[in-house]
A and B are shown apart, each in its own frame.
Chain A
Amino acid sequence: GQQVMQIPQYQHVQEGEDFTTYCNSSTTLSNIQWYKQRPGGHPVFLIQLVKSGEVKKQKRLTFQFGEAKKNSSLHITATQTTDVGTYFCAAVSGYSTLTFGKGTMLLVSP
């Protein structure tokens, strides 16, 4: 089945530092979604990328979809303590089934 590799598994930064998490697939993806899960919470949809080379921004968050549609990244500029949580990428396949990466847990120290 489809697999999505996500790195790093964990990152601890100081508030104000940048953060990036990467997703890679061996197969071409139709589209990719990003979710955030706060500690003790549930995944919350952030964004969906569909087009090759697409770049979308949400305030301090920048999402990219690779030209070959096999990789994606999420970059947070100047992290804040409210950014703490686990960030998941998820490939959409079949009839909207999501295949999740293992997630990157982000810890931000003040």
Chain B
Amino acid sequence: EAGVTQFPSHSVIEKGQTVTLRCDPISGHDNLYWYRRVMGKEIKFLLHFVKESKQDESGMPNNRFLAERTGGTYSTLKVQPAELEDSGVYFCASSPIRLSSYEQYFGPGTRLTVT
């Protein structure tokens, strides 16, 4: 079974530019999450999709971040315009809908550097 994949693995952009990150969850996983880890700090929740619907977007920093999951399959996270503090590793995770376990499967992450 293929794991969660993310693209690109690295991105270096200048302040003010736009970047779009992509996440392909494990096939059949209705839950999709975005997290971010800024250097030296904890992994922070950004938002959660159930299929194509945003279940919880309380962690989104501001309106420069836009996440979509059209069709309930892959998801994109767009940062526009990027700021220096947006640098970090963006992780996507997915999980099936289950009653007994909330185990999440993480992708390899996208390392974003804003200069």
CA distance A92 to B56 in the complex (A): 14
Flag A82-110 by CB within 8 Å of B: 1 or 0 each. Answer: 00000010101011111111110000000
Chain B CB within 10 Å, residue with most, of A33, A88, A98, A101: A98
Residues A45 and B103 in contact, CB atoms below 8 Å apart: yes
Residues B103 and A48 in contact, CB atoms below 8 Å apart: yes
Residues B42 and A101 in contact, CB atoms below 8 Å apart: yes
Q: Does B107 contact A (CB under 8 A)?
A: yes
Min CB distance, A45 to chain B, in Å? 5
Q: Does A73 contact B (CB under 8 A)?
A: no
Interface of B is mostly: strand
From B111, which residue of chain A is reached at the shortest CB distance? A40
Residues B109 and A42 in contact, CB atoms below 8 Å apart: yes
Min CB distance, B94 to chain A, in Å? 11
Q: Does A31 contact B (CB under 8 A)?
A: yes
A interface bracket (residues with beta carbon within 8 Å of B): 20 to 34
Q: Identify A97's interface contact among B56, B91, B103, B108, CB under 8 A.
A: B56
CA distance A44 to B4 in the complex (A): 12
Given A48-B101, A48-B102, A48-B103, A96:B95 Cβ within 8 A = yes
Q: Does A43 contact B (CB under 8 A)?
A: yes
Interface residues of chain B, those whose CB is within 8 Å of chain A, are 31, 33, 35, 41-45, 48, 50, 55-56, 59, 91, 93, 95, 101-109
Interface residues of chain A, those whose CB is within 8 Å of chain B, are 31, 33, 35, 41-45, 48, 88, 90, 92, 94-103
Beyond A43-B43, A98-B102, 9 additional pairs, beta carbon < 8 A:
A33-B102, A41-B108, A42-B107, A43-B91, A43-B93, A88-B43, A96-B31, A100-B35, A101-B42
